[in-house]
């Protein structure tokens, strides 16, 4: 089997849809010898900030000398980004090896009358096999959708569960109120195991977490946002104090990343209390070294081009605050592409009201909204708007309007960030950029 054939097999499972529930993944992992039972986990759920928190925790654990698995989704440029050990993608040959094994086990499942595993269930199973075979000291798991019925919730006893910022997203599946969504995220809390919660969540969400945890004898640790002090903008990020730790530095843009960092720090404290030796120096080095692509990521300095994975109103509000903080005196040209099922009207209202111009594009994904249809909404907030025939044409139009000293911000979906990065690499390779 070739790498392309392995990816084709995994992606073909998308035809079986997205089925919430644990019966199928439990059956599959049992056929594989339950590799998840040999691994220690940190489990992370939430609407926004999951990936950043997973990355912060992973980098600090690496600085402390631990072999650390990381499972996240979706990927930006290559499928193997989803499954990493010490921030190195799973090798192509290992992925092929596991796909061959999975094909055999799926045959057994089908003969037994079980459903074919979904795309995300296959990814989950591969990550468990790889983390076990690599003898990871610990693995950090990001949920795919929700938490309670997400296939990653097959794990039994994480060292700590973490719930990041909660907002309205995937409302057709998870519910259309904050308490309903919070309940689904709370499903990752395990009996007698602590949960760390992002402290700026709505009170009604935190009440759900406390009630859920109380019924299963789990302690709730709320990241103390009032414990953050002495915030200073640096050229590449921020420095700040948290409680009794001084001069913490991070390199991710947006003040919300400070809050994600202290949420991670509280989780690391729990991990340290459970047999892992993590020093303050490990924490400081790890947080400062953390990078997370596609989160207010600067791709080019002149002109300034940045991309952000924002795809819901909560994230759009955070993006807007970050842009105001970093580029408040500069006009911004936006490139926006979204999925059909997202609340793109609210996103546009939050971000675009004083845009210099907006170019709409259609991400290369089956659920993407047509650029011309998005343009109808965007023009409510910015009259100087255009639809790009392709992502490349849209970016060229944005460059034309922004000029050499301008700012271009692409946002709305993870699914076209790879195309934006490719454009910057190929078209603007002679200008100054950031690695």
How would residue 323 be classed by pLDDT, with cut points 50, 70 and 90?
Answer: very high
Predicted confidence (pLDDT) at residue 196 exceeds the cutoff of 90: yes
Burial 412-424 (b: 16+ CB within 10 A, else e): bbbbbbbbbbebb
Q: What angle do CA 201, 43, 139 make, to 5 degrees?
A: 140
Alpha carbon of residue 195 to chain centroid: 19
Q: What's the pLDDT at 169?
A: 62
Helices within 76-142 (DSSP H only): 92-111, 119-133
Lowest mean pLDDT among 44-48, 165-169, 375-379: 165-169
How would residue 435 be classed by pLDDT, with cut points 50, 70 and 90?
Answer: very low
Q: What's the pLDDT at 431?
A: 47
Structure tokens at 403: 């000029």
Which residue has 């003898």 as its token pair? 135
How many whole angstroms separate alpha carbon 355 and alpha carbon 277? 48
How many whole angstroms separate alpha carbon 222 and alpha carbon 20? 28
How many whole angstroms separate alpha carbon 169 and alpha carbon 286? 30
Task: Average the pLDDT over 113-142 and give the result.
Answer: 96
Q: What's the pLDDT at 236?
A: 82
Query: Going from the N-terminus, what domains does the chain have, and what CATH number goes with each?
Result: 3-289 (3.40.1190.10), 297-427 (3.90.190.20)
- Quick one: what percent of the chain has pLDDT higher than 70? 96
Task: Average the pLDDT over 144-158 and give the result.
Answer: 92
- Quick one: what percent of the chain has pLDDT higher than 90? 81
How many whole angstroms separate alpha carbon 161 and alpha carbon 95? 27
Look at the pTM and tell me if it is higher than 0.85: yes
Those residues with Cβ within 8 angstroms of residue 134's Cβ, 6 or more apart along the chain or in another chain? 67, 69, 85
How many whole angstroms separate alpha carbon 106 and alpha carbon 116? 7
Task: Average the pLDDT over 186-197 and give the result.
Answer: 97
Q: What's the pLDDT at 63?
A: 98
How would residue 365 be classed by pLDDT, with cut points 50, 70 and 90?
Answer: confident
Burial 13-46 (b: 16+ CB within 10 A, else e): beeeeebbebebbebbbebbeebbeebbbbbbbb
Predicted confidence (pLDDT) at residue 329 exceeds the cutoff of 80: no
How many whole angstroms separate alpha carbon 146 and alpha carbon 103? 27
How deeply is 70 buried, as exposed, middle or buried, from its count of CB atoms within 10 A (0-12, 13-18, 19+)? buried
How many whole angstroms separate alpha carbon 269 and alpha carbon 258? 17
- Compute the mean pLDDT over every residue in the chain, rounded to the nearest whole number: 93
Written as one string, the DSSP assignment of 335-374 is EE--BTTS-HHHHHHHH-TT-SEEEE---SSTTBPPHHHH
């Amino acid at each position: 089997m070739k790498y392309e054939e392995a990816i084709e097999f995994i992606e073909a499972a998308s035809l079986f849809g997205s089925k919430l529930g644990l019966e199928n993944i439990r059956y599959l992992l049992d056929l594989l010898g339950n590799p998840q039972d040999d691994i220690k986990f940190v489990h992370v759920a939430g609407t926004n900030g999951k990936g950043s928190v997973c990355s912060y925790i992973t980098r600090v654990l690496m600085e402390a000398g631990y072999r650390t698995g990381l499972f996240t989704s979706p990927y930006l440029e290559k499928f193997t980004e989803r499954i990493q050990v010490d921030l190195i993608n799973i090798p192509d040959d290992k992925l092929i090896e596991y796909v061959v094994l999975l094909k055999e086990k799926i045959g057994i499942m089908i003969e037994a009358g079980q459903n074919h595993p979904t795309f995300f269930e296959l990814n989950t199973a591969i990550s468990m096999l790889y983390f076990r075979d690599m003898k990871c000291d610990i693995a950090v798991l990001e949920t795919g959708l929700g938490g309670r019925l997400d296939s990653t919730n097959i794990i039994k006893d994480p060292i700590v569960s973490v719930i990041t910022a909660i907002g309205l997203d995937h409302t057709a599946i998870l519910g259309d109120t904050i308490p309903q969504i919070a309940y689904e995220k709370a499903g990752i809390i395990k009996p007698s195991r602590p949960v760390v919660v992002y402290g700026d969540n709505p009170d009604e969400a935190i009440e759900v977490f406390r009630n859920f945890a109380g019924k299963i004898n789990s302690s709730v640790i709320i990241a103390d946002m009032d414990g953050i002090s002495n915030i200073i903008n640096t050229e590449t990020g921020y420095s700040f104090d948290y409680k009794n730790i001084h001069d913490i530095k991070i390199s991710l843009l947006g003040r919300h990343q400070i809050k994600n960092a202290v949420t991670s720090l509280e989780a690391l404290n729990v991990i340290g209390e459970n047999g892992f030796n993590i020093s303050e120096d490990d924490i400081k080095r790890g947080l400062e070294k953390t990078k997370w692509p596609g989160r207010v990521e600067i791709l080019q300095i002149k002109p300034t081009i940045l991309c952000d994975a924002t795809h819901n109103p909560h994230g759009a509000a955070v993006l807007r605050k970050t842009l105001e903080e970093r580029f408040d005196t500069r006009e911004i040209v936006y490139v926006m592409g979204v999925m059909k099922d997202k609340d793109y009207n609210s996103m546009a209202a939050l971000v675009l009201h004083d845009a210099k111009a907006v170019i709409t594009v259609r991400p290369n994904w089956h659920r993407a909204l047509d650029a011309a249809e998005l343009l109808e909404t965007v023009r409510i907030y910015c009259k100087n708007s255009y639809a790009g025939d392709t992502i490349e044409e849209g970016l060229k139009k944005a460059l034309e309007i922004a000029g050499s000293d301008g700012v271009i911000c692409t946002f709305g979906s993870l699914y076209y960030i790879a195309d934006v990065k490719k454009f910057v690499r190929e078209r603007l390779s002679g200008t100054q950029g950031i690695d």
